Amino acid sequence: MKEWFKLLKLSLNGSRQSYVSGSIDRAIFLLAVPMVLEMGMESLFAVVDIFFASLLSTEAVVTVGLTATVVMLVDAMAIGLGVAASALVARRIGEGEPRQAGMVVGQVILIALVFSAALVVAGWHYAGDLLRLMGAEERVIAVGTRFAQIEFLSSPVIVLMYALCGSLRGAGAASAAMRSLWIANGINILLDPLFIFGLGPFPEMGITGAAVASAIGWTSGVGYQLYFLYASQRKISVQWSDLIPDRTYLSRLLNLAVGGTGQLLIASASWIFLTRIVAGFGSEVVAGYTIAIRIFIFTLLPSWGMANAAATLVGQNLGAQQPGRAAVSVWRTARCNMWFLLVIAVVLFFQAETVIGWFSSNAAVLNTGVSALRIFCLGYGFYGYGIVIIQSINGAGDTQTPLYLNLICFWLAEIPLAYLLGQQYGAIGVFASIPIGESLLAILSILVFRSGEWKMSQV
């Protein structure tokens, strides 16, 4: 027990560690703990806003749900950049080149700022049209347009947050990424009720206040990340000169980011399509589905911490010319993740009514949410394995293979199933397509990983 607490302390304090030698289980633990906590805090973003929105109205819940679905596209591009950054940084660290890793991070920041500027302009001007495109009713558009505008206005810090978290994880500075999410979410939780309900000296802004609180939280988290990178100079060396465009690293990052972004765009677009199908069943069904999806994300995101740990171990060990150690790390992490999610699934399945009831007392919303959540739980074991394997292939620098797997599973399997089952069984049929598609992705990714081609990736 004493040794366990010692390892826990090491994992959280951010001290320099080697992940390419010594015990594999120790390396997994040291990386996974802060990464799981990081993703756990990120998952709170998915439920905090929806919780406070549920205290306002059904329209507010629908606004958050539909806007979040569109903003998933922004997140997809940001996470794709983070995947590319993590793979390149991890490989350079594994090769013993922290200065080169710092140059990668500088180019990541440059890409993030240029890309997000376009999102701000487009999102601000077309927020209402995007909600209408998603099938929102006019009363929802009236309530939610300003909320959506502020969400898009936050694009620069959202993109930077995801991209820099990927960079820090690749460098093995998992505790710094964790702390940035703690700061961002802590501030969001504190400010949400103040801005939404106008407590004390704060103005009452309704659902718009949730977007303002999130924006302030994201900005604070990114501020910490930049402080860590430019002031602390611990695990990775970043200098102002690294912001000067470098054709070689820009090309490498963009090539990897296209695959990483494509994966998330395919997945996000499938969620948008699913939400659009569900919207045809009415606002109450959309609200129940939105709550269930937020809980699904809340419980799933911490397991991404395990997956990110595996990706870092793969990148660094390939850089150190140890592909065998990389493979063993992935299989062990995947098994742990599977058992973790199976436990979560059992609890959620039998307590679904209680959990959904925390967010809505509306009978129609409650019934839909409970049904959706229980159906999602049926695929949790597959999610656990699939997430780790997919991220590990990304961590090796092969972002194209997971792209094709996502295309097959989500657009050739899940979406057609959602439409057909929705026609036959209503919203329940749409919900059922989700665990089917995710389980297929897990099975195919395991088969691809066993082939070993990922070991040959050069970045």
Least confident of 143-157, 185-199, 373-387: 143-157
- Is the per-residue pLDDT at 70 higher than 80? no
Give 333's pLDDT tier (boundaries 50, 70, 90).
very high
Amino acid at 147: F
Give tens-digit pLDDT for 363-419. 888 888 898 899 999 999 999 999 999 999 998 889 899 999 999 999 999 999 998
In whole numbers, what is the pLDDT of the chain averaged over residues?
A: 85
Contacts of 412 (CB under 8 A, 6+ apart): none
- For 205, residues 6+ apart whose C-beta sits below 8 A from its C-beta are 195, 196, 198, 212
Report the C-alpha gap between 251 and 185 in whole angstroms: 33
Amino acid at 218: W
Confidence label for 184 from pLDDT (cuts 50, 70 and 90): very high
**Cα→Cα distances 449→32, 169, 331, 403, Å:** 21, 22, 10, 14
Tens digits of residue pLDDT in 112-123: 988 888 888 877
> Amino acid identity of 247?
R
Alpha carbon distances (Å) from 201 to 6, 197, 198, 432? 44, 11, 7, 46
Over its C-alpha atoms, the chain yields an Rg (Å, rounded) of 21
Per the structure block, which two tokens stand in for 46? Answer: 């998915």
Determine the residue type at 201.
P
Top pLDDT among 3 and 448 is at: 448
CB-CB contact of 395 with 94 (8 Å)? no
- With a pLDDT cut of 90, the percent of the chain lying above it is 25
Residue 234, pLDDT score: 58
What average pLDDT does range 35-47 have in this prediction? 74
Confidence of residue 439 (pLDDT cuts 50, 70, 90): very high
pLDDT over 90 (residue 342): yes
What is the predicted pLDDT for the residue at 15?
A: 64
pLDDT value of residue 14? 62
**Residues 41-70, mean pLDDT to the nearest whole number:** 74
CA–CA dist 334, 344 (Å, integer) = 15
Instruction: Report which listed range, 32-36, 50-54, 371-375, is most confident.
Output: 371-375
Q: Which residues are within 8 A (CB) of 345 and not within 5 positions of it... i.e. 6 or more apart?
A: 377, 378, 380, 381
pLDDT of residue 233: 59
Distances (CA, A) of 296 to 58, 262, 326, 370: 19, 22, 29, 12
Q: Which residue, among 162, 139, 175, 129, has the nearest Cα to 60 in the 3D structure?
A: 139
Identify the weakest region by mean pLDDT among 57-71, 159-173, 308-322, 422-436: 57-71
Task: Please list, in sequence order, all residues whose beta carbon lies within 8 angstroms of the beta carbon of residue 32, skipping any fewer than 6 positions away.
Answer: 11, 305, 306, 309, 333, 336
Name which of 292-301, 399-408, 420-429 the model is least confident about: 292-301
The mean per-residue pLDDT over the stretch 166-191 comes to 89
**CA dihedral angle for residue 137, residue 143, residue 146, residue 147, rounded to 10 degrees:** -90
pLDDT for 221-242, tens place per residue? 999 998 888 775 556 777 888 8
| 33 to 12, 23, 52, 73, 308: CA distances (angstroms) | 8, 16, 29, 28, 11
Enter the tokens of residue 64. Answer: 């958050």
Q: How confident is the model at residue 258 (pLDDT cuts 50, 70, 90)?
A: confident
User: Per-residue pLDDT for 346 more than 80?
Assistant: yes
* Main-chain phi, psi angles of 37, to 5 degrees: -65, -35
Q: 311 is written with which tokens?
A: 């990706």
